[in-house]
Amino acid sequence: MKLPLAWIFALVLPNAWAGIAPAPSQATELSVHAPPALLQKLVIEPVSEAHFTETLRLPGRVALDEHRVARIGPSISGRVTEIKAFIGQSVRQGDTLALINSTELGAAQAAYLKAKTQVGLQRLAVQRARRLFEEGIISQATLHEREGALAEAEVELRAGDDQLEVMGMSPAAIRRLADTGHIDSMTPVTATLTGTVLERQISVGQIAQPADDLFTVADLSQVWVVAEAPEQDAHRVEPGRYAEVEIPALLQQRITGRLIYVADTVNPVTRTVTVRMAVENAQHRIKPEMLANMVIRRSSEPGLVIPAQAVVRVDDRDHVFVQTGGDHFELRPVALGVEQDGRRRVVEGLSYGQRIVVDGAFHLNNERIRKELE
């Protein structure tokens, strides 16, 4: 009897494939024996523990110290008649930067002189009323009326004095006005701090208002360096600590300053935190808006460190060769921090005292690859 062809395949093929096992997967070989010649060239040291200095480098720029900047305007409306300071000029506190002719000031001075005259007249009236009261000619109520009028006149005089000070007149100038009675409608715009004139928004003949910023004066003996720290690094920046500044325009000269401000909020657009440091600038060599790098160093807790040259990159991961005995080594994956001063901090994969290849790891890895290819 002939069997159908389909039955023959059903009976024969399972038995034919039964003795054939699947090929095992080839695992990566992670160990190697070093030949005697290579072993003599290897430098093997134990994993050690040390303080590791964390360095945070932030790009930034030089800015004005806002506590040392004055934006100066007139204290009263008027027409500019003379300019005495220009951009780049050094000025001292109290120096006259410009002169303004103000009719309002003239009217206020006239009102002050009038109030002063009224005080003098009321004082004479009170003196006369007191004599008449003592002689029984007038009543006490009339005397009190004269004294009340004197008090009102004195209030008007004090108000006029205060108004003149607000308008920019010094106490000495007000006393001179009271003594001479000479009205002077010219008022100076004076520097409120010692520094350098950075901006001038004024010209002769211009009508100036109290809200106008006519001059910007800054003390450049101290400046700020402002940088943006990524939010994940913000915890490494502490106000009050000292840091370094590298300024490319000054040939990478390193300057020390103090961190004075770390923002309490994160910029939602850049995901950064503003950091600010104060830097002494007595020679005015550091210019506002120069590019700078803020370098913040901080010593961390003791941890395991290995030489950077001990690291071998395999399959885009960091590895080191651990000595497991004599000439036998094992290629072990590790998690490491960034390189600093030729060392890398061990995050995971090694323990204290393990002996690793710190010099010659590259040649040992070549030996491992050669053995795999044989």
pLDDT digits (tens, 9 = 90+) for 234-256: 988 999 999 999 999 998 788 99
Residue-wise pLDDT for 337-369, tens only, equals: 878 778 888 999 999 999 999 999 999 999 888
Residue-wise pLDDT for 300-344, tens only, equals: 677 899 999 999 999 889 999 999 988 999 999 999 987 877 888
Q: Report the distance separating Cα 61 and Cα 277, nearest Å.
A: 11
The string of DSSP letters for 218-246 reads: E-TTEEEEEEEEEGGGGGG--TT-EEEEE
Reply yes or no on whether the pLDDT at 47 is more than 80.
yes
According to DSSP, the residues that pair with 218 across neighbouring strands are 69, 196
Listed residue (43, 104, 33, 66) closest to 223, CA to CA: 66
The predicted model gives 262-289 an average pLDDT of 94
Listed residue (47, 52, 94, 110) closest to 321, CA to CA: 47
The predicted model gives 133-159 an average pLDDT of 91
Q: pLDDT at position 371, please?
A: 83
The predicted model gives 58-83 an average pLDDT of 94
Q: Given the DSSP bridges, would you call strands 222-230 and 312-314 parallel, antiparallel or unpaired?
A: unpaired
Q: Report the distance separating Cα 284 and Cα 31, nearest Å.
A: 61
The string of DSSP letters for 9-25 reads: HHHHHHHHHHT-PPPPP
Q: What is the pTM of this model?
A: 0.64
